Amino acid sequence: MQKMQTKQELQQLLLQLYITQAFDHRAKMLQKTGHIGTFPSSKGQEHLFVSLANHLTINDWYCPYYRDHGALITRGMPIHALFQYWAGDERGNSAIPPHTLPINIPIGSQCAHATGIAWSLKHQDAICLVTLGDGATSKGEVYESLNFAQIHKLPILFVVNNNQFAISTALSQQSSNPLIANKFSNIISTAHIPHGPILEIDQKIKAEITKVKTTRSPLLLEVMTLRLDPHTTNDDALIYRSSKDIELDNTQYPISQFEQFLLSQNLLSAQNIQSIKTSARATVDQAAQHFLNAPSQETNHINDYLYA
């Protein structure tokens, strides 16, 4: 049994979750008002990305896909820069934290990059962690990366965020096996974390990261999550899902359940929780103001970074 978190640790985790939640919320508002472009919310999956980042050191590499706001912020990416990225401003990417790749859009292609990085870490203490969605596991280069990582026993953790949808395509139409971990279990060691309370998932994630760090061998970790918002702000989930299903999923919102848990167990007071939420919102509001007030990027440098 894992040790219970201290009050301070719980407060810190709650703050990170609220910041991610507030970032998603604010980004959706900014998109609606024309300040940023298409945006993929991480609502329902905040805890996954926060936990992944919390259990790595900054010397470990993190290779995100595009729903990893919680991890990028936790690793130190300035929030206003993340808004900039989604507003189509390359200055956002110039603020990526150390040992972190920029957001990856072409599905699954980041797995090969992460495998190359993991090769460079063979004789170091650090590991490489790469995230992907369940849809990405249909791509050939994901298989190619898993295969190579296993052949060479590379220190890499492939984390599949299984939210059961690839835009509109349900997992049943995407994967020959309903469990991604099973689909690849004869290629690479795999682990599966089912839906559950945030603290339980956090401890399981910590254990799997520790396993890769200790064994210096590759692992595919599938984490079940709920996608409570559409794929992006351009998507309309009601076209392919019933409102009843969406409402039912929303009753399972992990952050709400975490609040209830903290209250019911008398781990944090309602007042304490509210003050953390207020503080998180203030942080994100301030970053949004910073983003909105920043001067426009200069366009006369458009070729400066094309070649060395």
Partner 1 sequence: MHKPDHQTACMHMVQALNQALYDEMSADETTLIAGQDIGRLGGVFRVTQNLLDHFGPNRVIDTPISETFQAGFGIGLATAGLRPIIEFQFLAFMHSALDQMIAHASRLRHRTRGQLKCPLVYRAPYGSGVHAPEHHSESTESLFSHIPGLKVIIPSTPSLAYHLLRQAIQSDDPVVFLEPTKLYRIKQEPNQRPPKLGEVYIHREGTDATIFTWGAMTYEALQVAKIYETQYQIKLMVVDVSTLNPLDEIGILQAAKASGRILILHEASAKGAVGNDIYYLIHRHLNINAKYMRQLGAPNTICPYYQNEHLFAPNQQSIMSAINEILL
User: Does residue number 94 form part of the binding site for partner 1 (CB under 8 A)?
Assistant: yes
User: Does residue number 145 form part of the binding site for partner 1 (CB under 8 A)?
Assistant: yes
Question: CA nearest 212: which of 193, 194, 188, 195?
Answer: 188
What's the closest the beta carbon of residue 141 comes to partner 1, in angstroms?
A: 5
Pick from 30, 82, 121, 273 the residue near partner 1 by CB under 8 A: 121
Q: What is the contact mask toward partner 1 in residues 148 to 177, using x (rule: CB under 8 A)?
A: x--x--------------------------
- CA 305/CA 90 separation, integer angstroms: 11
Which residues neighbour 82 within 8 Å (Cβ) at sequence distance 6 or greater?
23, 69, 72, 73, 92
Q: What is the contact mask toward partner 1 in residues 16 to 35, using x (rule: CB under 8 A)?
A: --------------------
Pick from 147, 168, 189, 283 the residue near partner 1 by CB under 8 A: 147
User: Does residue number 1 form part of the binding site for partner 1 (CB under 8 A)?
Assistant: no
User: Does residue number 140 form part of the binding site for partner 1 (CB under 8 A)?
Assistant: yes
User: How distant, in Å, are the alpha carbons of 56, 183, 211, 233, 267 from that of 217?
Assistant: 16, 19, 8, 38, 37
User: Does residue number 197 form part of the binding site for partner 1 (CB under 8 A)?
Assistant: no
User: Does residue number 102 form part of the binding site for partner 1 (CB under 8 A)?
Assistant: yes
Pick from 96, 212, 224, 226 the residue near partner 1 by CB under 8 A: 96
Region binding partner 1 by CB under 8 A among candidate stretches 8-16, 92-100, 196-204, 287-295: 92-100
Smaller CB distance to partner 1: residue 147 or 250? 147
User: Does residue number 61 form part of the binding site for partner 1 (CB under 8 A)?
Assistant: yes
Pick from 138, 144, 249, 283 the residue near partner 1 by CB under 8 A: 144
What's the closest the beta carbon of residue 110 comes to partner 1, in angstroms?
A: 8
Smaller CB distance to partner 1: residue 92 or 230? 92
What's the closest the beta carbon of residue 107 comes to partner 1, in angstroms?
A: 10
Name the site residues for partner 1 (rule: CB under 8 A).
61, 90-91, 93-94, 96, 101-102, 105-106, 109, 111-122, 140-141, 144-145, 147-148, 151, 304-308
